[in-house]
Amino acid sequence: MFTSSKAPILAGVDGSEVALAAVRWAAIDAAHRHAPLHLVYLTGGLGDHGSGVEFGPSAPGSYRWGGPDALEIAYATAIAESAPINRIDVTAELTNAAPVPVLRRRSETARLLVVGAHDLGAFSRAMLGSLSTALARQAGCPVAVVPRGVEHGDGPVVVGVDASTSSAAAVSLAFDEAAFRGADLVAVHALSGFPGSLIESREGGEGLLDRSLAGYSEAYPEVTVRRVVVEDHPARRLLEAGEKARSIVVGSRGHDDFSAMPLGSVSRAVLHGAQVPVIVTRPASFARHPRNGR
């Protein structure tokens, strides 16, 4: 699916409750996917640079500087959350370095990067500003942003669809998520800024959905898809459709200037407003029809 079938899930740790919630979410996801989990505690500021020190599961408390207690708690939490589902390999890393460069490098060999949102910890305050935006644009894998108190629910997976390559990556990941979790998929296309009459806009939007979802019904016959074409702001409709979702999947446009709608701004708005996990993809982070490429 990503770099390899053994690519780890990566989780950022900062000692806050919301980061611990993200670790729980990541551990459960890793256990269900039989994937290793790697925890990273970063003590450097957003602009700092430093060298890293790594340790494995046998010695989570070996280093007594820069938040080792928080990392030990996160490590123990990951083991406890994953154990009832599946035994997984959990590793941890304590590094005095800036979050964005380290997490970006680690993400190059990860299947998913998980960070927390909506908290007062230094890592989390920055996350919804420069950190989450930078990671969504630069990470080498999809980025899951998990709010406080969230659990793996039983709602649908919601995905935003437009004509961009980033949207194609989001659709691909969303189908894989829905199939893996036994969930329905809600594909949302908003007509904001679409030229022509409402009838023409709706027909154009439905045609775009047809093209964007083509082939996925055959690749994922177990996934029930509900299509939503509305005249509304994309972020507002995604937040409404995703209010009780398992997750919302959006594409980060990055340098893709051919998008039909500004998914860069949409992804930021959804990150700020969602009360469920938001998974942000980039065009190169997920291949089309992943079930065929594992």
* Residue scoring higher pLDDT (286 or 180): 180
**CA-based end-to-end distance of the chain:** 5
Provide the pLDDT for residue 291: 61
Amino acid making up residue 103: L
Provide the pLDDT for residue 122: 43
Of 9, 21, 6, 102, nearest in space to 277 by CA: 21
* Residue scoring higher pLDDT (196 or 157): 157
Q: Across residues 158-169, what is the average pLDDT?
A: 89
Q: Mapping DSSP to helix (H, G, I), strand (E, B) and coil, where does residue 273 land?
A: helix
Classify residue 28 as left (phi > 0), alpha (psi -120 to 50) or beta: alpha
Q: Mapping DSSP to helix (H, G, I), strand (E, B) and coil, where does residue 289 land?
A: coil
pTM for this structure? Answer: 0.81
C-beta separation of 247 from 276 below 8 A = yes
DSSP calls for 80-111: HHHTTT----EEEEEE-S-HHHHHHHHHTT-S
Domains of the chain: residue spans and CATH? 9-147 (3.40.50.620), 157-292 (3.40.50.12370)
* Residue scoring higher pLDDT (130 or 144): 144
Of 221, 290, 215, nearest in space to 249 by CA: 290
Q: Across residues 248-267, what is the average pLDDT?
A: 61
d(CA 209, CA 39): 37
Provide the pLDDT for residue 239: 93
C-beta separation of 38 from 131 below 8 A = no
Provide the pLDDT for residue 193: 57
C-beta separation of 35 from 90 below 8 A = no
Q: Could you read off the pLDDT of 34-82 as tens digits, one per residue?
A: 999 999 987 655 443 333 333 344 333 333 344 688 899 999 999 999 9
267: exposed, middle or buried (Cβ count in 10 Å: 0-12, 13-18, 19+): buried
Provide the pLDDT for residue 50: 36
For residue 239, the number of C-alpha atoms closer than 13 Å in the C-beta half-sphere is 15
User: Strand (E) positions, the chain?
Assistant: 9-13, 37-42, 52-55, 90-95, 112-117, 143-147, 157-160, 185-190, 225-230, 247-251, 278-281
Of 69, 132, 106, 157, nearest in space to 280 by CA: 132
Q: Answer yes or no: is pLDDT of 2 > 80.
A: no
Q: Could you read off the pLDDT of 215-241 as tens digits, one per residue?
A: 998 999 999 999 999 888 888 999 999
Provide the pLDDT for residue 222: 96
Mean pLDDT of the chain: 78
Q: Answer yes or no: is pLDDT of 87 > 70.
A: yes
* Residue scoring higher pLDDT (292 or 132): 132
Q: Across residues 100-108, what is the average pLDDT?
A: 87
